């Protein structure tokens, strides 16, 4: 004889039978006919190897085995129902979560303080860990080592969700009194005539700026590159080098350093900052809450 395999339906039926102590009452609660409920009780008996409920006069009483598992059955049914019940509205005040945000240094500079302030105020159980971009980031969202990436998303994996958040534009930046500021608007020729320092985590010394200058028959000399905009801005402050920086997102930093910005005399494309995440988090209320906080921090950043 083939043994009956237990299932979630049998657990629910067993829970109701033990609570009601009656096949007919259990049938009414589960919207079954009495014969169907009797067959279900038979399957439960076969699966457990125990009568479960036996007649005592006009009533049915549970066996010692049924009484012994009654609490466990109830706990299993409640746990399973919780699994299959959509989560309710998230309460940030009770949220316990650690989020890793992979971001460019520009984004970290722009949003880390407002995000940390908001989390401290409304979600004290949340911990934010900002990780700078680096080599080997391509798999971070896929393998779960990062929960969110916020940067200029270049060639993300096909399944990664990408949401553009804001745009910025590059401006030139120099120390006060720099000679490039003398004599009116900065022309392309004057822009190319000074030594430059660039911020790039990949160590590049040429890019779209150089391509546009080359189209005008011009070339600039790049003295070197630094891996972050913060380091580049410090170098600009202490030298006669010319740098370029996002106008809006790094404004608190270059203004604090007392630097001066100017319009770059080139038709540069805007810089788009996006956030990306793996679709495993699409329906996660806590992750959706994090995305909304990042969205607010970037889109409400001072212009």
Helix H, strand E, coil C: the string for 208-219 is: HHHHHHHHCCCC
As for how many domains the chain has, the answer is: 3
Residue 38: C-alpha distances to residues 10, 35, 43, 45, 109 (Å): 12, 5, 9, 11, 68
Examine the fold and report which residue of 20, 54, 83 is the final residue of a domain before the chain moves on: 83
Mark whether 160 and 279 lie in a shared domain. Answer: yes
Mark whether 174 and 263 lie in a shared domain. Answer: yes
| Per-residue model confidence as pLDDT tens digits over 184-209 | 889 999 999 999 999 988 777 788 89
| Per-residue model confidence as pLDDT tens digits over 1-52 | 445 556 788 888 998 898 888 899 889 888 889 999 999 999 999 989 999 9
Question: pTM for the complete prediction?
Answer: 0.69
Mark whether 67 and 139 lie in a shared domain. Answer: no
Residue 40 lies in a domain: yes
Mark whether 73 and 220 lie in a shared domain. Answer: no
Mark whether 208 and 225 lie in a shared domain. Answer: yes
Mark whether 239 and 121 lie in a shared domain. Answer: no
Residue 245 lies in a domain: yes
| Per-residue model confidence as pLDDT tens digits over 40-64 | 999 999 989 999 999 888 888 889 9
Residue 125 lies in a domain: yes
Mark whether 159 and 279 lie in a shared domain. Answer: yes
Count of beta carbons in the 10 Å neighbourhood of residue 83:
8
Residue 197 lies in a domain: yes
What is the average pLDDT across 112-133? 92
Mark whether 137 and 154 lie in a shared domain. Answer: yes
Mark whether 287 and 162 lie in a shared domain. Answer: yes
Containing domain of residue 31, as a range? 8-83
CATH of the domain at 38: 1.10.10.10
**Token pair for 264:** 């770059």
Residue 2 lies in a domain: no
For helices 64-83 and 8-20, give the axis angle rounded to 10 degrees. Answer: 130
């Amino acid at each position: 004889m083939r043994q009956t395999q237990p299932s979630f339906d049998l657990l629910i039926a067993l829970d109701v039978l033990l609570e009601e102590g009656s096949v007919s009452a259990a049938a009414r609660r589960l919207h079954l006919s009495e014969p169907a409920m009797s067959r279900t009780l038979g399957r439960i008996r076969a699966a457990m190897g125990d009568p479960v409920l036996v007649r005592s006069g006009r009533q049915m009483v549970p066996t010692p085995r049924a009484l012994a598992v009654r609490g466990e059955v109830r706990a299993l049914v409640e746990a399973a129902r919780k699994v299959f019940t959509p989560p309710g509205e998230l309460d940030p005040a009770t949220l316990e979560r650690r989020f890793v945000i992979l971001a460019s240094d520009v984004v970290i500079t722009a949003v880390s303080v407002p995000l940390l302030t908001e989390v401290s105020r409304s979600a004290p159980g949340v911990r934010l860990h900002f990780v700078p971009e680096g080599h080997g980031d391509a798999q971070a969202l896929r393998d779960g080592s990062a929960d969110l990436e916020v940067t200029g998303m270049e060639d993300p994996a096909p399944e990664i969700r990408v949401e553009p958040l804001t745009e910025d534009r590059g401006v030139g930046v120099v120390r006060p009194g720099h000679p490039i500021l003398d004599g009116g608007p900065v022309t392309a020729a004057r822009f190319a005539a000074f030594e430059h320092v660039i911020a790039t985590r990949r160590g590049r010394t040429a890019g779209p700026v150089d391509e546009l200058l080359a189209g005008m028959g011009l070339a600039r000399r790049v003295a070197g590159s630094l891996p972050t905009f913060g380091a580049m801005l410090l170098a600009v402050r202490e030298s006669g080098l010319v740098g370029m920086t996002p106008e809006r997102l790094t404004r608190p930093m270059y203004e604090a350093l007392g630097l001066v910005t100017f319009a770059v005399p080139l038709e540069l494309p805007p810089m788009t900052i996006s956030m990306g995440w793996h679709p495993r988090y699409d329906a996660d209320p806590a992750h959706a809450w994090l995305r909304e906080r990042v969205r607010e921090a970037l889109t409400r950043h001072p212009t």
